[in-house]
Structure formats: structure tokens, C-alpha cells
Amino acid sequence: MTVLSGGHLCTDIAQGAVPALLPFLIARDHLSYAAASALVLAATISSSVIQPLFGHLSDRLSLPWLMLLGPGLGGLGIALVGIVPSYGLVFAAVLLSGIGVAAFHPEGSRFANYVSGARRASGMSLFSVGGNLGFALGAALLTPALLAFGLRGTLLVLVPTWLMAGVLAHELPRLARFRSDVVAGQVRRGGERDAWGPFAVLAGVIAMRSFIYFGLITFIALYWVHDLHTGKAFGSAALVALLLGGAAGTLAGGPLADRFGRRAVLIGSMISIPPLVVALLLSGPTLGILFAVLAGAATIATFSVTIVMGQEYLPARLGVSAGITIGLSIGLGGIGVPLLGLLADAHGLRAVLEVVAVLPVVALALTLALPRDELSAPVRRGSGARQRAAHLAAPREPH
């Protein structure tokens, strides 16, 4: 799990670097908020929307080497952002980075599922927190490099990402032994039954949470700089605080879900986000950092929880499940970011955060539509998970 979490960390350094780059790209290239947020959209689409394709392939073939592309291509794309001469090439470099990120997640979460043992939500929290920390480090490590060396400082991203790609390459044979359904490179199909109805509702919850999340990470640093009149370093500190809060929330969310139930943790998360975002808007730059931490924790605490729920709903398609819960649904939420950019251009950054404060109400309504039963039960390996999925997929009599 340490290797998988480390790979997740170095892969998501690339994702976390994109929002941190925006103030510097805006200053150098005089980009509008809409053009800047389009870069976030490019990163989101390339890293998220195509993940189900990688997941579909990995459900049918043994492709653990896809995990190498996460830190490898992810780091390369971000490094190129700082040295290419035009907005179009910056856009292309962000797309390249995102493809690497997309390749990592279905296989990474599959092997995290295999090595987690009975407490899958807790184990997935450890895997997920690597990504949360990587996202935070993407901003925390890149900002000082950009301040010191300008946009060419992006080249330093290659150091941790390519080193981690080497570690993953060394560990692949050991990790591959955890996958017992592969014979001669081919995947044996079992008799698991998938519950697509609850899974579709869950995907909607994740998409709304993603819209909230990307709205926060894209605009919080800009809000500090342009509305609260702080320096870029203070704005980056607000972003890092939000992301570190998310990492802490991820560590807490898995054990809480194993103890109190997945659905209960989702409901608590959606109820707590609006007052925290409102408190952030009512605070100054220093106190606002505290509410950024809390808002990040509330928003991201359910990340590992929804991954496990998706795998429980689709036990025969762990790769597709991860591709949708980590990728497609998050990507659909991220598509709304340019709309928030247009809103910011027209009405200001404060209006964007006010909209973000209202969105959890929609996510809460979808969460309440998820099945009440089974989700709070401890997760077991093998037939137990399959029986739960079959029960959820079966037709029910009206009450």
C-alpha cells in the first residue's frame, strides 16, 4: 500500500500543479479567467473522462504497467507547461499530463482494493490520501519554484515524478501477484452481479462533489489575490490549506465510513460544506485559511468512501468502477469550471464561491436517494461483496 499511495502522490502532483500555475500564467500571458479555467477543464477531461476506457481494458487484460504512466507522463506534461511558448502548446502539455494521470488511477485503485484486507474503506483512505497529498504538494512545491525561477521552475516536477515511476517499475512484479484472476495474461470472468442503478446515482453525487471541489481549488487562490488583496504566495497558501484539509479529511473519512456507514458519512459531508464556505467568505485572509482547511476536509472526506461504494456496486468491473468514480464523474463535474470562470468574469470571484456554497444541496438530495441498507455493513472479501451487489441490483417490492 505504501508504494501504491506513493505512486498516487507523485501522479497527483501533476494535477495539483495546474491550479497553482494559473496566477503565473495569467500574469505572463494576460489570460482571462475563462481561458485560465479552460486549462483546468483540459486537465480534468484528459485525466478523468477517458479513465473508464483504461478501466475497461484493465478489467479484461493484466495491465499493471499503466501505473507507470501516471508519474511519468503526468510529470512530463507539467514540466513542458513552463517552457512552451504559446497558450495552445500549454493546453496540449496539460492534456498530455492528464492522459498519464488517467492511466494510473483504475489500476492503482484496483490493487489498493486487493491489498486493503477487510476494512476496504480504511485501506482506500490510505491510497487516496496519497493523491490528496500529491495534489497539495503540486501547489506547495511548485509555487516556491515558480517564484524563484519563473515558469521554467516547472522542470523541477520531473525529479519526484520520474523517481517514483522508477520505483513503481521495480515493484510491479510483486504487486502483480495480488491479482489472482489472471491466467496467462488473461482475466478470468466470475459470476458477480453488478448494481448499475445505485451506481448511477452515486456517479451523480460524485459529479456534484467534483463541481464543488474544482470550483474551490480553481478560484480560491485567485479570490485571495484579487478580492482579499493578498500576494500570490498567500493565495497559494490558501490553496495548499484547502488541499491539506482534504488530505486530513480523507484519512478520517474511510475509518468513519467503516464504523458508521458510507451513506451517513456522505450525508454529513454535504450538510457541512455550505456553512464552511459561507464562513470563508465572511472571513479575512488569515482566518479564512482555517475555513479553507475545514471546507477541504468536508469536501474530500468522502473521496475514498465513494471509490469503495462504486467497487461494491460493480464487483465484476473494478477497473470500470474506478474509471467512473475517480474519472468520468469527476470529469463531468470539472466541465462546469469554465462556466464558473464566465461567472467570475461577469460578476466576480465572490459570486463563484457563493454558487459553490449552494451546490451541496443538490448532492445531498442525490445522496438521500442511495440505498439505506448494506452500505453501513463491514466490507468482506469475495462472495460477501458479490452478494451485496446482487441484493442491491435485484428488483424490490414497493413499500
Provide the pLDDT confidence category of residue 398 given band limits of 50, 70 and 90.
very low
The predicted model gives 190-196 an average pLDDT of 71
Does residue 67 contact residue 107 with C-beta atoms inside 8 Å?
yes
Q: Is the pLDDT of residue 378 over 50?
A: no
C-alpha pair distances (Å), 167 with each of 115, 172, 178, 298, 347:
18, 9, 18, 32, 47
| Residue 399 domain-assigned (yes or no) | no
| Residue 163 domain-assigned (yes or no) | yes
Q: Cα separation of 14 and 34, whole Å? A: 21
**What is residue 178's predicted lDDT score, i.e. its pLDDT?**
62
Q: Cα separation of 379 and 261, whole Å? A: 10
In tens, the pLDDT along 34-52 reads 888 888 888 878 888 788 8
Does residue 83 contact residue 154 with C-beta atoms inside 8 Å?
yes
| Residue 398 domain-assigned (yes or no) | no
Q: Cα separation of 267 and 265, whole Å? A: 5
Q: Is the pLDDT of residue 360 over 90?
A: yes
Does residue 18 contact residue 40 with C-beta atoms inside 8 Å?
yes
**What is residue 118's predicted lDDT score, i.e. its pLDDT?**
61
C-alpha pair distances (Å), 298 with each of 2, 271, 303, 347:
25, 9, 10, 27
CATH of the domain at 265: 1.20.1250.20
Q: Cα separation of 268 and 148, whole Å? A: 42
Expressed as residue numbers, the domain containing 295 is 2-393
| Residue 159 domain-assigned (yes or no) | yes
Q: Cα separation of 97 and 79, whole Å? A: 9
In tens, the pLDDT along 139-192 reads 788 888 898 898 888 999 999 999 999 988 888 877 776 665 554 455 555 556
Q: Which of 2-16, 173-187, 195-209, 265-279 has the highest mean pLDDT?
A: 265-279
The predicted model gives 94-98 an average pLDDT of 93
| Residue 15 domain-assigned (yes or no) | yes
Does residue 143 contact residue 211 with C-beta atoms inside 8 Å?
no
The predicted model gives 230-258 an average pLDDT of 87
Does residue 224 contact residue 230 with C-beta atoms inside 8 Å?
yes
Name the percent of the chain lying above pLDDT 70: 87
The predicted model gives 228-237 an average pLDDT of 88
Threshold 0.75, pTM exceeds? no
| Residue 353 domain-assigned (yes or no) | yes
**What is residue 189's predicted lDDT score, i.e. its pLDDT?**
57
Q: Is the pLDDT of residue 395 over 50?
A: no
Number of domains in the chain: 1
| Residue 149 domain-assigned (yes or no) | yes
Provide the pLDDT confidence category of residue 136 given band limits of 50, 70 and 90.
confident
Work out the mean pLDDT of the chain and round it to a whole number: 82
Q: Cα separation of 353 and 24, whole Å? A: 21
In tens, the pLDDT along 45-90 reads 888 878 888 887 877 777 778 888 889 999 999 999 988 988 889 9
Burial class (CB in 10 A: 0-12, 13-18, 19+), 25: buried
Q: Cα separation of 73 and 103, whole Å? A: 9
Provide the pLDDT confidence category of residue 274 given band limits of 50, 70 and 90.
very high
**Helix 349-358 / helix 262-281 crossing angle, nearest 10 deg:** 150
**What is residue 392's predicted lDDT score, i.e. its pLDDT?**
46
